Amino acid sequence: MRTKLILQASNELVASGNWAAPTRLSFMRATKPIPAAVQSAVAHLLAELHAKGGCEKIGLSGESFAAILCEVAAKYLPDGASEGEARTLLLTLRIEELALARSCAAGNNSAWELFLTRYREKLYQSALRIAREDSAARDLADSLYAELYGTNTRAGERVSKLASFTGRGSLEGWLRTVLAQEFVNRYRRTKRLVSLEEENEDGEQFAAAEPEPLAPADRRLESATDAALASLASEDRLVLAAYYLDGRTLAEVARMLGVHESTISRKVDKLAKTLRKKILAGMMQQGMTRRQAEEALEVDVRDLQVNIRRSLAQESSAAAFSEKKDGSAFGQEIVPSENLETGK
Amino acid sequence: MENVPKIVQVRLQRRTREAVEAHPDADLLTAFAEQSLGESERAQVMEHVARCGECREVVALALPASESVLAPSSVRANRGAWLSWPVLRWGVVAAGIVLVASVGILQYKQRRQQNAALFSSPVRQQEKVSAALPSSRPSAQMQARAIIPQAREKTRQAPARRDFSSQSAVAADSSQSPNAIFPSPQPMNRAGVPGAGIGSGSGGGIAGGVFRPNSGSGAMLAGREHSAPAENGALALAPESKEALSASSQSPAAQASAAAPTHQVTVSGASQVIEVQAESAQITTQDQAGVQRAQNQTIVPPQTQPLNNLDVVRAKDSVPLQTESSVVFAPTVSTPQTSLQKALRSLPRWGISSSGGLQRSYDAGTTWEDVNVSAAESRDEYQAKKILKKERAKPVVVFRAVAAFGPEVWAGGSGAMLYHSLDSGNHWARIVPSEANASLTGDVVGVEFSDAQHGRIGTSAGEVWTTGDDGQTWHKQ
């Protein structure tokens, strides 16, 4: 009963959340007709992959497995992809885990048992790490567990979330990701409520604080900054956002990108310097003297620090997130779209 | 960590807010975090995640527990760290330093080897000689101890030796025949093998060999002491000399000489006698003399050749050969190794012309230049000047013996003249060996330096002077 409630709640979340809709979309995209290249690639590799995935043991027939492979390949391959690309994709899939997940989704009991022995423990551990709190973690894990089993029926069929697993990453990682998505949605909902209240209290003040740097004199600063940011590689922007906005630690950013922490550390340093240089150059191009440009930047930095202090003082709850707060609380404060609306 | 300007964060957020495009599904995010996406897909997801704070958070939250995933990710991280530019550039610097250092060391070693070849070559030759003449050692040692006084008795006791000396003279005569190529070692060896002295000629030879005097002086010595029986013997036995030569060639010493096939000894005339004797003497004195012996492949200046007959004639007449004879000290020739020859080429060979002039050759004996000793004579020695004046009354100093050790040259001749040069004969100083009230008298007929410090001088008066400190002090024996 309780799980059902949770599920319903989460479904609502999914329906209203930003990321859920695209997930649906991509899921639906899977039903589009299978390109010939993909079909032939699957036909070529089916026997090999079928054996590799150990599909026999978990009761997955060759045909159904072929259908799964076709669906996965068609989902991720761009239109007009060659057969070679399809093969490469198929060969990089986590075949065994894919077979297991899909077999579970199809209701195979032995597959389900195997899944449980392998992943149940990990599921709860991951939930605990994500939620950082026992009861919330249990909630999170339970809801996902129910979803995985497929308690909700549609047209009399049990639909498991495992059916959406495509084997691009590991099943364990996928479980963690799904858990994290779930958690972010919940967290955002509760957070949104809190921040709405807070905004109601001092929303005007907060909104008034923002336009200040957007004064006409700073238009040039703005555009220069935008240009500088746009000139960065997406990975660099990811690093900047994760570090300065999200308040991730260097180690976390490094693990997100699969590189060493020291690499990220150097990169952040370098990025900060080059950004400053680029912005200054951009502003000077637009007719500001160097001193003016530097002043504009300095003023902003001071503002930022004030804002950080204020947001830190206001958001005692956010302190649970991360010790290093420069910008993170600030960022999370503004991200919600309500803020946008009230701001403008 | 450096802060970025606030505007950067603001604009980053603005971009984030604009990111309304489709979120990647959980599979793609997982694959992204696990670095298992293809390039284009990864770029797409990266772009989205860079904009989308939610996906960033999902990815960050979904990071595996550090322990469980550290194994693979740390391997990747390590590899990245090692291949990353900061590490690489220090590696490049280090590699460069190592390269430069190794090149430098190699060069240094090469130069040292060259230098070593230059200066240690006599020693090597000595080793070679001693190795080549193992069988002749015992007798050689015996003879080495025999030196001059014993030589007398020996010559008396063993008349046969005169034959040898005479043969050597003959060998000198036969220098134009192919057998003459190895004339010197053979007679000496024969003299050495019997263990007796070296006859009159050999007596001189000892003096000459050991002290590197002129053969003539040696002959003179012998002649004085033995009333020149050698010359007579030489005359008498001249016809047999060839046979003796060939016979002697079978003696171990002959083999030794054969062991150094490159010895091109163009010896001529009476000088041959001296040479031969010198050789034998050197063999007898073995180690010390051996060094020089190897180097002393006597090459007689071409001028002496016409005099050969003269010499022989004089020998017949029991006239001391000294004046015409020439002992040649040729440091380089003997070794077959051309590298050594090259290394030694910078050092001249020393010789004495048939007229008693000091000569040196920088091209292994092909051409000879006269060395004027008095030109660069030391001026501060008063006595030397006095003697010089006397000397100048005479036409020239007649040199009879010359010895060289590296750049150091000792040359002695008539009238107790002894000259010393430290720079291969460019500058000379007259040395007057003296001890207490005695000083060197007579003609210097033999000069031998076993190394730069220790040397002996034999005189026509039968004196032997030794020094242990490069000629600073002398002792009469």
Q: How far apart are CA A276 and CA A268, in angstroms?
A: 12
Q: Which of B65, B45, B40 is nearest to B55 (CA)?
A: B45
In this prediction, residue B435 carries a pLDDT of 76
**Contact yes or no for B27 and A165 at CB 8 A:** yes
In this prediction, residue A285 carries a pLDDT of 85
In this prediction, residue A93 carries a pLDDT of 87
In this structure, are residues A173 and B64 in contact, taking their beta carbons and an 8 Å threshold?
Answer: yes
Mean pLDDT of chain B: 60
More confident: B363 or B100: B100
Chain B residues in contact with A241 by the CB 8 A cut-off are 12, 16, 50-51, 53, 56
In this prediction, residue B94 carries a pLDDT of 92
**Amino acid (one-letter) located at B155:** T
- Average pLDDT estimate for B11-39: 76
Chain A residues in contact with B69 by the CB 8 A cut-off are 255
β-partners of residue B419 are B411, B430
Chain B residues in contact with A268 by the CB 8 A cut-off are 1-2
**Contact yes or no for A335 and B69 at CB 8 A:** no
Chain B residues in contact with A180 by the CB 8 A cut-off are 57-62
pLDDT band for position B387 (50/70/90)?
A: low
In this prediction, residue B107 carries a pLDDT of 92
In this prediction, residue B392 carries a pLDDT of 54
pLDDT band for position B281 (50/70/90)?
A: very low
More confident: B268 or B412: B412
In this prediction, residue B100 carries a pLDDT of 94
In this predicted structure, the answer to whether residue B185 has a pLDDT above a threshold of 60 is no
Q: How far apart are CA B375 and CA B397, in angstroms?
A: 12
**Contact yes or no for A240 and B4 at CB 8 A:** yes
Q: Which of B429, B127, B144 is nearest to B294 (CA)?
A: B127
More confident: B252 or A62: A62
CA-nearest residue to B36 within chain A is A169
Compute CA distances A245 → A17, A49, A278, B67, B183, whole Å: 21, 43, 20, 26, 102
- Most B CBs within 10 A among A93, A168, A311, hence the mutation to make, goes to A168
Of A26, A172, A300, Cβ closest to residue B6? A300
Q: How far apart are CA B347 and CA B121, in angstroms?
A: 11
Structure tokens at A148: 């995985």
pLDDT band for position B97 (50/70/90)?
A: very high
How close does chain B come to A176, measured CA to CA in Å? 5
What is the gyration radius of the CA atoms in chain B, in angstroms? 40
Instruction: Write the pLDDT tens digit of every residue in B445-468.
Output: 888 888 778 888 888 877 888 888
In this predicted structure, the answer to whether residue B72 has a pLDDT above a threshold of 50 is no
How close does chain A come to B90, measured CA to CA in Å? 16
- Most B CBs within 10 A among A26, A92, A177, hence the mutation to make, goes to A177
Of A92, A178, A301, Cβ closest to residue B3? A301
Chain B residues in contact with A125 by the CB 8 A cut-off are 65
In this structure, are residues B156 and B226 in contact, taking their beta carbons and an 8 Å threshold?
Answer: yes
In this predicted structure, the answer to whether residue B109 has a pLDDT above a threshold of 70 is yes
**Contact yes or no for B56 and A326 at CB 8 A:** no
**Contact yes or no for A237 and B31 at CB 8 A:** no
Q: Which of B94, B119, B212 is nearest to B407 (CA)?
A: B119
Q: Exposed, middle or buried by CB within 10 Å (0-12, 13-18, 19+), for B351?
A: buried
Q: How far apart are CA B114 and CA A256, in angstroms?
A: 62
Of B52, B54, B80, Cβ closest to residue A263? B80
How close does chain B come to A238, measured CA to CA in Å? 4
- Most B CBs within 10 A among A176, A192, A236, hence the mutation to make, goes to A176
Q: Phi first, then psi: what are they for B75, rounded to 5°?
A: -60, -45
- Average pLDDT estimate for B421-430: 80
In this prediction, residue B375 carries a pLDDT of 55
Where is mean pLDDT largest: A67-71, B175-179, B282-286?
A67-71
How close does chain A come to B83, measured CA to CA in Å? 11
Q: How far apart are CA B354 and CA B174, in angstroms?
A: 18
Mark A208-217 as b/e (b = at least 16 C-beta within 10 Å). Answer: ebeeebeeee
Count helices and strands in chain B by DSSP H and E runs:
18, 14
In this structure, are residues B351 and B329 in contact, taking their beta carbons and an 8 Å threshold?
Answer: yes
In this prediction, residue A341 carries a pLDDT of 43
Instruction: Write the pLDDT tens digit of every residue in B117-175.
Output: 766 545 444 444 444 444 444 444 444 444 444 444 444 444 444 444 444 444 444 44
**Contact yes or no for A23 and B56 at CB 8 A:** no
Instruction: Write the pLDDT tens digit of every residue in A325-340.
Output: 444 444 444 444 444 4
How close does chain A come to B23, measured CA to CA in Å? 5
Q: How far apart are CA B12 and CA A231, in angstroms?
A: 13
Claim: this prediction has a pTM higher than 0.90: no
In this structure, are residues A242 and A252 in contact, taking their beta carbons and an 8 Å threshold?
Answer: yes
CA-nearest residue to B19 within chain A is A18
- Average pLDDT estimate for B364-374: 77
**Contact yes or no for A26 and B22 at CB 8 A:** yes
Distance of CA A250 to the CA centre of its chain: 18
In this prediction, residue B344 carries a pLDDT of 56
Q: Could you give the angle at which helices B137-157 and B185-192 cross, rounded to 10 degrees?
A: 80
In this prediction, residue B466 carries a pLDDT of 84
In this predicted structure, the answer to whether residue B90 has a pLDDT above a threshold of 50 is yes
Of A258, A266, A304, Cβ closest to residue B35? A258
CA-nearest residue to A256 within chain B is B33
- DSSP code at position A244: I
In this prediction, residue B368 carries a pLDDT of 82
In this predicted structure, the answer to whether residue B106 has a pLDDT above a threshold of 90 is yes
In this prediction, residue B101 carries a pLDDT of 94
In this prediction, residue B388 carries a pLDDT of 58
Q: Which residues of chain A have pLDDT under 70?
A: 1-32, 151-157, 188-218, 299-344
- Average pLDDT estimate for B352-371: 80
Of B3, B36, B49, Cβ closest to residue A326? B3
Chain A residues in contact with B66 by the CB 8 A cut-off are 251, 255
SS3 call for B13: helix
